[in-house]
Structure 1
Amino acid sequence: MDIEITPELREFLSSLKPGERLSGSVASIESFGVFVALDDGPAHPVYPGVGFISYAELAWQRFDTGGEILQVGERILCEFLQFDTWLGEARLSLKATQPDPFQMFADATEPGQRLPGTVTKLVPFGAFVHVARGIEGLVHVSEIAWTPVEDPSGIVQLGDEITVVVTAVDRSRRRLSLSLRQALRAPNAL
């Protein structure tokens, strides 16, 4: 689709600076992102709003639909990321206006620490465990039990309340590695 960007829209988008905070209202929630009608921006010639938030920039926590995070008509404050010259949009981030819960969690967590958690997802290579608000970590299949395990569902089920041990915290990739087997008593241990 070829979008003709009006001079007024181009001037507005060109005036924005990365990191600038913009307010507006949620105009539409789609399966690929959220359109925002910016308070100070002109109308978009095609889309319901000149601002756009991709799902990756919507929230720190995992979610399935944009409606779990926002509602149409809701007032929001976003951070401007860039001017999408192809689509004539202000690319925005909602999560950039909120503290990263993973970094706050990482400040208070270290390897060897025991944590209570709930199994939230089973995958062939392990189990994801919710250990704090907005924080999930992976128990790799090799860390589920002291004996080899081919299928995590043979040991844990969705919703199980378990205790895990933190094995690694990767701040840059926002990954938490956990062990169930280390939380269990080791075989032949006194």
Structure 2
Amino acid sequence: MIGGPSEHPELWAFLESLRCGELLSGTVAAIERFGVFVTLDDGPDHPLFPGVGFISFAELSWQHFETASDIVRVGQRVTCEFLQFDDWNLEARLSLKAMRPDPFQAFADSIVVGQELRGRVTKLVPFGVFVQVTDAIEGLVHLRELAGTPAEDPSDLVHVGDEVAVVVTGIDRRRRTLSLSRRQASSDHR
């Protein structure tokens, strides 16, 4: 723990005054391997960290990204939603992605189970393949749903970059997952 209320009274008072859902603005101060520090406009300095605000990688963007610098850069102005007061690190946990609508929910509103889509294979895993069906949405085609005949390995059937037809077999809004079948698609049998 960095210090209690008696050690950093101004910082504690500021953090305790924040309310969940409140919008806070600031400047990206540093991008680290574990997240992004933000110097808040209305907040005091932090005794150890580059900023009082902190955005974990999970709260940076709805979209998949390789590095935090794909989403933000040092010196960039950001407005984030306050999530919680981390009283161990004396920081305001923030969400940048909360400032934008979740593209998965909008996508889920526009499709139905049984609908056929086209997409591009983005990743092979031992249990199936991921297929990107929009810029922001990927779904999983389980190995058993790849083809009419069973395969030991997804690479026996498809490769990264292949365009494939798939059928929506499940939509889980809470977990933000999309289940797909290539085997059930009418226009892409193999």
Relative to the length of structure 2, the TM-score reads: 0.95
Kindly indicate whether the alpha-carbon contact (under 8 Å) linking 1:102 and 1:174 is maintained by their aligned counterparts in 2: yes
Residue 119 of structure 1: which of 121, 131, 150 is its match?
A: 121
The within-5 A match list for 1:142-181 is 142-181=144-183
SS at match of 1:132: coil
SS at match of 2:133: strand
Quote how far apart the aligned CAs of 1:185 are: 6.4
The aligned counterpart of 1:54 is 56
The aligned counterpart of 2:87 is 85
The aligned counterpart of 1:13 is 15
Equivalents in 1 of 2:157, 2:105: separation in Å?
Answer: 30
Residues 78-131 of structure 1: CA deviation (Å, up to 9, x unaligned) = 000000001000000011111000000000011111111011110000000100
Equivalents in 2 of 1:84, 1:145: separation in Å?
Answer: 48
Kindly indicate whether the alpha-carbon contact (under 8 Å) linking 2:164 and 2:188 is maintained by their aligned counterparts in 1: no
Quote how far apart the aligned CAs of 1:4 are: 2.6
The aligned counterpart of 2:131 is 129
The aligned counterpart of 2:38 is 36
Kindly indicate whether the alpha-carbon contact (under 8 Å) linking 2:82 and 2:93 is maintained by their aligned counterparts in 1: yes
Equivalents in 2 of 1:32, 1:172: separation in Å?
Answer: 25
Unpaired runs of 5+ in structure 2? none
Kindly indicate whether the alpha-carbon contact (under 8 Å) linking 1:120 and 1:130 is maintained by their aligned counterparts in 2: yes
1:64 aligns with 2:87: no
Kindly indicate whether the alpha-carbon contact (under 8 Å) linking 1:146 and 1:186 is maintained by their aligned counterparts in 2: no
Aligned residues: 186
Kindly indicate whether the alpha-carbon contact (under 8 Å) linking 2:43 and 2:52 is maintained by their aligned counterparts in 1: yes
Distance 1:43-1:135 versus aligned 2 partners, 3 A rule: same
Moved over 6 A (4+): none
Relative to the length of structure 1, the TM-score reads: 0.95
Unpaired runs of 5+ in structure 1? none
